[in-house]
Amino acid sequence: MPKGRKRQNRKRIGRWTAQRLAVLDEFLQGGEHLSARDVYQRLREKEINLGIATVYRSLDFLIEIGLLRQYDFGSGEAKYELNDDEADQHHHMVCRVCGKVINYSKFVKRGLSLVKDIKMELEKNYGFKINSHQFEFRGVCGVCGD
């Protein structure tokens, strides 16, 4: 669970700086469910030294323009991933012992009609406008299980 304070509201428009590009690039390079510290350390290894606050701000920026998405898998820090189209969105499977997360995309298509009906129901009966959904499974992975 991420400690610390709730994210504050920020301005909408932003500039494409070298720092923001560098952060995005870590995800385009194939990084899956990276934390802010993961990104910070990976960049540092490449001698691209951003302040950790800038990493957080860049992640927020990339979320705001729709390129990234934030998740919490109970590890104590937020994780970030490239934002899939809804139709391609993957599920997550989290090992509650070692914290390993697996991206899993089978049955997504089958779930779509269910998701669609739930969204319609929520909008009609509760006045909610739904933007995204997430399925998460928890258990014990093969390594941690006996």
The C-alpha atoms of residue 146 and residue 113 are separated, in whole angstroms, by: 37
User: From the list its own copies, DNA, none, which binds 41 (C-beta under 5 to 8 Å, kind-based)?
Assistant: none
- Is 65 or 102 the residue whose CB approaches its own copies more closely? 102
Closest listed residue to residue 115, CA positions, set 98, 92, 135 = 135
Question: What is residue 9's DSSP assignment?
Answer: P
Closest CA to 71 of 63, 104, 116: 63
Out of 25, 42, 57, 119, name the contact with DNA by CB under 7 A. 57
Which residue, chain included where needed, has tokens 């951003």? Answer: 50
According to the binding rule CB under 8 A, does residue 16 interact with its own copies?
Answer: no
Cβ atoms 60, 10 nearer than 8 A: yes
Query: Is residue 135 a contact residue for its own copies (CB under 8 A)?
Result: yes
Counting contacts by CB under 7 A, is residue 99 touching DNA?
no
- DSSP 3-state of 18: helix
- Determine how many CB atoms are found less than 10 A away from the CB of residue 77: 15
Taking contact as CB under 7 A, which single stretch among the options 30-38, 92-100, 124-132, 133-141 is the one that binds DNA? 30-38
The residues binding its own copies (CB under 8 A) are 1-6, 70, 72, 74-78, 91, 93, 95-96, 102, 104, 106-107, 110-111, 114, 117-119, 121-122, 126-143, 145
The residues binding DNA (CB under 7 A) are 1-8, 10-11, 13-20, 35-37, 49-54, 56-58, 60-61, 76-78
